[in-house]
Amino acid sequence: MLGWSKNFPLGRKGPFFVRTFTIPLTPPYSFERLLQRLQTHPDPQLEVQPEHNMLRRIFRVGTRPVLTRVQFVGELEQPALKIETASALSAAEQRELERTIRHVFSADLDLLPIYEQMREEPELAVLVDRFSGLRLMHDSDLFQSMVKTIIGQQINLTFAANLTQRLLTLAGEEVADEQGVKFLAFPTAEAVARLSTEDLRPLQFSQRKAEYIIDYARAIVDGKVDLERLWAMEDEEIIAHLTPLRGIGRWTVECLLMFGMGRPNLLPAADIGLRNGIALVYKMDNKPDEREIRRIGERWAPWRSIYSLYIWEAVGAVKRKEVWEE
């Protein structure tokens, strides 16, 4: 629900007016858990101010980069997002920005029926209690989501974040706030399509990874891939549509479906992190193979994506050295 007004932002000096609105969130919603996940899943587009329960980043409205402040207000059971931007937006652009933010922060996901099903397994009930209110933070657009997924293939999260930052610096658009703090917008498909592998290789992109990213951008620019069409397609249709592209296999498209589109019933069974997490949560002596993961995941339908998130977060909690007790 849009309710725009002009206010003086926190911590800013002078007559610098901003537009604000509030987005109610479906409870429970834990900003604390989101911040903890960001510790092990760094995002170079974000400026995080935990003391103010606040994030700042650029969202694209159409092709236009809009610097936005997102502040979590309320509590676990009465959560909301307070949004601020200094950009002048039309009514249609305001609605588009709100839609994007609702999508990114999974604002409308009702976790309660998922938790009810998860509690049927004691191993997963522990995760519900521990991570209550956690949900996926989605990518803001499908081009960005696929590029980040290709970047992340077969490398660790920290190096993937570093490569993403280098791509942002090379081809993204720069926006400064009123105090001169600079933010980078994720580059458009057109900007990436203009690159060559020689541009990316000095940034430590492998030859293949550079080729795959540029090929994907050019496929969009040339009209071979219409990202808007994907929203009307079923999961398997999207997988069949995108996997003929070089460097894009089933796992890559499953990540796009989960992290880019917010599809609720994805099970990336080939993911090494999911293998590690299932072995941890179910106390297995050996890591399960893909076939075993799919067998276990059958009982997670129709919310396999959310189950996978909570399994991954169990691994993240161990990496962060959180006390792990049942």
pLDDT tens for 71-111 read 999 999 999 999 999 998 899 999 999 999 999 999 999 99
- All domains of the chain in start order, with CATH: 5-108 (3.30.310.20), 109-133+263-326 (1.10.1670.40), 142-260 (1.10.340.30)
The CA distances from residue 45 to 241, 242, 263, 276, in Å, are 29, 26, 23, 28
Q: State mean pLDDT over 52-77.
A: 94
Q: Which tokens hold the place of 35?
A: 């911040």
Catalytic residue among 177, 271, 285, 289: 271
Q: Of 199, 171, 197, 172, which is closest to residue 183 (Cα–Cα)?
A: 172
Q: Of 178, 242, 170, 177, which is closest to residue 200 (Cα–Cα)?
A: 170
* Per-residue pLDDT, 12: 43
Is 271 annotated in the active site?
A: yes
pLDDT tier at 9, thresholds 50, 70, 90 = very low
Judged against a pLDDT cut of 90, whether residue 252 lies above it is answered with yes
Residue type, 133: G
Q: Which tokens hold the place of 86?
A: 């200094």
Q: Of 9, 196, 3, 195, which is closest to residue 94 (Cα–Cα)?
A: 3
Q: How many helices (H) does the chain have, and how many strands (E)? A: 15, 8
